Amino acid sequence: MKTVWISDILNGKHDGQKVELKGWVKRSRGSNKIRFIVLRDSTGSIQCVAKRDSVGDECFENIKSALIESSLIIHGEANPDERADGGYEIIVDSVEIVGPVNPETPFPITESAMAAADGGETEFLLDNRHLYLRTTRMTTMLKLRSTVFGAIHSYFRDLDFIEYQAPNFVAGAVEGGSTLFEVPYFGRKAYLTQSWQLYAEAAMPALERLYTIAPSFRAEKSRTRRHLTEFWHAEMEVAWADNQEIMSYGEGVVRKIAGSLLDERSEELASLGRDLDVIGRYADSKYPRMRYDEAVETLQGLGVEIEWGQDLDYSKEKILTQDFDVPHFLTHYPKIAKPFYHRVDPDDDKYVLCHDLLAPEGYGEIIGGGERTWSEEEILARIDEEGTPREPYQFYIDTRTYGGVPHGGFGLGVDRVCSWLSGADHIREVIPFPRDSRRVTP
């Protein structure tokens, strides 16, 4: 007999047919004569009705004993029924238990029991993450995530960008020493990469348009709702482009992500309580651009304590973006707030030609990017001025020594984008096994 997906039954593809279903017990209840099993597969869930009279005593006792999360193969008839959740139920002919659940270790894996077990997303759920992944909410998040990754790949590939890989063991910092993970490396020290950028810039004269989606590692000590120690970073680098053009790619990819979610996952978004019109606005709007100075004035106007020259931390971005209705770019940050590879604005050397894209609804930064310091003379001056040793960056300096050209790029935090577009309260909610300063297990 043909195995079918539950979603296909719910979509009316097997009305009245005898079908085989493979899945897991989501709920089970009933009497000594009739059992109602809600069976779940990766596509959905459906109620299966088993009567002692039709399946026989032995099979019925098996069904009764099947604990939540047991895996089953069910044969039966797909029966349209208005009263059933989703409009269908399965009239069961037979049930085979494939993988039982050890009755010695029953686990409260139903959504409500898991939430009740420890009041929601807490240590309990994190300790049992491998089981939490099976809940509807987490399954939904993982599907949204897959769509987001797919959209990023399509966006760049459609524009003829080349996917390019950089090493994860590196010798130097991109984002500053305080968040570097040091690893022993055969008697020497190496670090886990914070960004693909420097190695991508090395290949820019070969490929001109390149991108990646890869993990980046940052030893973020403070635990916030938007920082992981291992996160997925979509980065791009492009030759001959200025800050304005690079921002148009950032806007393009975020709009593409929002549009793909609407096309492929509108049901899932709605199930999370997301307003599809809002996601539609993110997919269709132009994203305004404002200078850092204007943002500082706005914040000061709101009574926020901030001085010119400070980077904007999350608390400030949150206040600034609470009332935005679409993402906004902030440009022209003060040079003193940014690392050496940001290109100084030739019109005013207090600033660098960079941008952050801030997501609305209080989510804040999802992209950081800009033009790179591209002449040999300037890069050496910036490195020395910062007191950064030249040696680990020699290959990077060489890319300027041998035919440097204007170029730039950005990094987009994929998990942050998933968190924002799904409306999650915490970045942990959108990644299967989150890593932060206190947790590398399970």
Catalog residues that contact Mg ion under the rule CB under 5 A.
368
Q: How many CB atoms within 10 Å of residue 380? A: 17
| Residue 231 binds ligand ATP (CB under 6 A) | yes
| Contact stretch for ligand ATP (CB under 6 A) within 10-18, 70-78, 88-96, 406-414 | 406-414
Nearest approach, Cβ of residue 401 and ligand ATP (Å): 26
Nearest approach, Cβ of residue 413 and ligand ATP (Å): 2
Q: Look at the alpha carbons of 301, 306, 310, 311 in this order and tell me if their dihedral is positive or negative.
A: negative
Q: Which is nearer to ligand ATP, 5 or 329 (CB)?
A: 329
Q: Please say whether the beta carbons of 322 and 361 come within 8 A.
A: yes
Please identify which residue in the block is written with the tokens 């009567």. 51
Residue among 411, 421, 422, 424 that touches ligand ATP (CB under 6 A): 411
Nearest approach, Cβ of residue 339 and Mg ion (Å): 10
Element (H, E) at 244: helix 243-271
Q: What token pair was written down for 292?
A: 């850092």
Q: What token pair was written down for 166?
A: 């950089």
Q: At a CB cut-off of 8 Å and minimum separation 6, what does 250 contact?
A: 329, 355, 357, 367, 369, 410, 412
Q: At a CB cut-off of 8 Å and minimum separation 6, what does 340 contact?
A: 373, 379, 382, 383, 385, 386, 388
Nearest-angstrom CA–CA distance, 348 and 364: 27
Residue 328 interacts, among Mg ion, ligand ATP, none and using kind-specific CB cut-offs from 5 to 8 Å, with none
| Residue 415 binds ligand ATP (CB under 6 A) | yes
Q: What token pair was written down for 40?
A: 């779940």
Residue 175 interacts, among Mg ion, ligand ATP, none and using kind-specific CB cut-offs from 5 to 8 Å, with ligand ATP
CA distances from 402 to 167, 205, 212, 374, 393 (A): 22, 9, 24, 11, 15
Q: Which is nearer to ligand ATP, 89 or 415 (CB)?
A: 415
Q: Which is nearer to Mg ion, 44 or 368 (CB)?
A: 368
| Residue 220 binds ligand ATP (CB under 6 A) | yes
Q: Which is nearer to Mg ion, 260 or 419 (CB)?
A: 419
Nearest approach, Cβ of residue 231 and Mg ion (Å): 12
Q: Which is nearer to Mg ion, 47 or 197 (CB)?
A: 197
Q: Which is nearer to ligand ATP, 124 or 314 (CB)?
A: 314
| Residue 416 binds ligand ATP (CB under 6 A) | yes
Q: How many residues bind ligand ATP (CB under 6 A)?
A: 16
Residues lying near ligand ATP in the complex (CB under 6 A): 175, 218, 220, 227-228, 231, 233, 365-368, 411-413, 415-416
